[in-house]
């Protein structure tokens, strides 16, 4: 027998989690300050640790952190192998190989290694933000929250973002089965023994998912006239291009004002009309749609505020958002970006706890 969670426990709207994560990712993309990037990764980890559930995708956040660490190491190794060697503090001199247009190995400078590590850290922070959204937002609930016109695309995206969590669950299940059979071992030697069962399990789960989706009518839509399809495609494509140009105008302080907010609003309106027209061909219902209440507004606003304060700092004093390399100095700690990233930790305190099924009293 299972009982429901506390009355205040509920799933936060998945769109709110993705808006929060995208805002935090935008803040990370605007800076190469390692202190701010590490602070953003810490905030994302804090929120995931506080509000993740017990689902397979919620337990996959560690994979994203491990992937980020691998990216940092690979970026430094690529700099050592083929990177452009810059700096004044020489650490070591490796044998160099001159090739047409490129030099392999060669001298290593502290400034170049730090620059490569920071670039890898920035990419790792973006992956951590996406991983946090994937760990916190239920992909099935995200699919039913999308507009009808994006239902097919959303189905493909949801399936793709659940690959890593399902793969992690398969690895854990196969390793648990090996331990129960007394087949211990870890490291490189166990990879070959685990890989084949994991691939077979993943294929079986994919076939089961495809059969279940086909039986529920996914991918089926009513007939549309060629004129309606052309109008829908033209409106949606034009709207998305206009929104992209408007975002560029807002982020670029030197761009004319006409391609900023007006172009963004016009693009969003055209895209909304195109999705509305295209959604008439997709007939689907939603049982108990997720509500959008005060916690959703606070979570989404915290991520957008982090992005906004970093953008404001980039227009006022962009030097504080980079790691000074010439000459090499300690990175600054600007107040506005720090405040924005700390505000992004607000979901750990205001977001409702996800419902967890608990075993009831046997009596």
Q: How many CB atoms lie within 10 A of CB 125?
A: 25
pLDDT digits (tens, 9 = 90+) for 99-118: 776 777 778 888 888 888 99
220, 155 in Cβ contact below 8 A?
A: no
Task: Categorize the per-residue pLDDT at 297 as very low, low, confident or very high, splitting at 50, 70 and 90.
Answer: very high
**50-98: per-residue pLDDT in tens?**
888 777 667 778 888 999 999 999 999 988 888 777 777 788 777 777 7
What pLDDT score does 185 carry? Answer: 59
What pLDDT does residue 142 have?
Answer: 67
Q: Which of 82-86, 169-173, 186-190 has the lowest mean pLDDT?
A: 186-190
The CB-side HSE value for 319 (13 A sphere, CA atoms) comes to: 5
Q: Is the four-CA dihedral 183, 163, 188, 64 of positive or negative sign?
A: negative
d(CA 63, CA 47): 16
Residue 130, CA atoms < 13 Å, CB-side half-sphere: 15
Q: Could you give the percent of the chain with pLDDT greater than 90?
A: 18
Contacts of 311 (CB under 8 A, 6+ apart): 26, 30, 251
How far apart (Å, rounded) are the C-alpha atoms in residues 54 and 114?
Answer: 38
pLDDT grade, residue 20 (50/70/90)?
very high
Put simply, whether the predicted model's pTM sits higher than 0.85 gets the answer no
| Residue 104 · residue 64 · CB < 8 Å | no
CB contact set of 191 (below 8 Å; sequence gap of 6+): none
Q: What is the pLDDT of residue 56?
A: 65
- Rounded distance between C-alpha atoms, residue 17 and residue 321, angstroms: 25
């Amino acid at each position: 027998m299972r009982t429901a969670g506390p009355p205040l426990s509920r799933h936060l709207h998945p769109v709110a989690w993705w808006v929060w994560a995208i805002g935090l990712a935008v803040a990370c993309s605007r800076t190469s300050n390692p202190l701010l990037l590490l602070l953003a990764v810490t905030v994302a980890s804090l929120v995931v640790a506080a509000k993740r559930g017990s689902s397979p995708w919620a337990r996959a956040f560690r994979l994203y952190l491990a992937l980020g660490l691998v990216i940092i190491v690979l970026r430094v190794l690529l700099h050592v192998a083929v990177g452009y060697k810059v700096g004044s503090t020489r650490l070591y001199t490796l044998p160099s190989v001159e090739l047409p247009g490129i030099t392999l190995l060669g001298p290593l400078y502290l400034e170049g290694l730090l620059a490569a590590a920071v670039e890898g850290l920035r990419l790792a922070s973006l992956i951590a933000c996406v991983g946090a959204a994937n760990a916190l937002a239920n992909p099935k609930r995200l699919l039913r929250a999308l507009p009808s016109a994006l239902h097919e695309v959303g189905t493909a995206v949801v399936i793709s973002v659940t690959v890593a969590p399902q793969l992690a669950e398969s690895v854990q299940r196969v390793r648990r089965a090996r331990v129960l059979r007394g087949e211990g071992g870890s490291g490189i030697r166990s990879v070959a023994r685990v890989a084949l069962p994991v691939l077979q399990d993943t294929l079986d789960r994919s076939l089961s998912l495809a059969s279940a989706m086909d039986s529920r009518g996914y991918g089926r839509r009513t007939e549309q006239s060629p004129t309606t399809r052309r109008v829908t495609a033209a409106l949606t494509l034009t709207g998305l291009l206009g929104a992209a140009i408007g975002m560029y105008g807002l982020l670029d302080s030197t761009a004319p004002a006409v391609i900023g907010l007006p172009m963004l609003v016009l693009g969003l309106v055209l895209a909304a009309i195109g999705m509305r027209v295209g959604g008439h061909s997709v007939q689907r219902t939603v049982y108990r749609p997720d509500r959008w209440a005060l916690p959703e507004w606070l979570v989404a606003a915290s991520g957008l505020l982090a992005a906004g304060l970093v953008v404001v700092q980039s227009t006022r004093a962009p030097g504080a958002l980079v790691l000074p390399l010439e000459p090499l100095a300690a990175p600054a700690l600007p107040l506005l970006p720090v405040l924005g990233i700390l505000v992004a930790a607000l979901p750990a305190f205001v977001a409702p706890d996800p419902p967890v099924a608990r075993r009831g009293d046997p009596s």
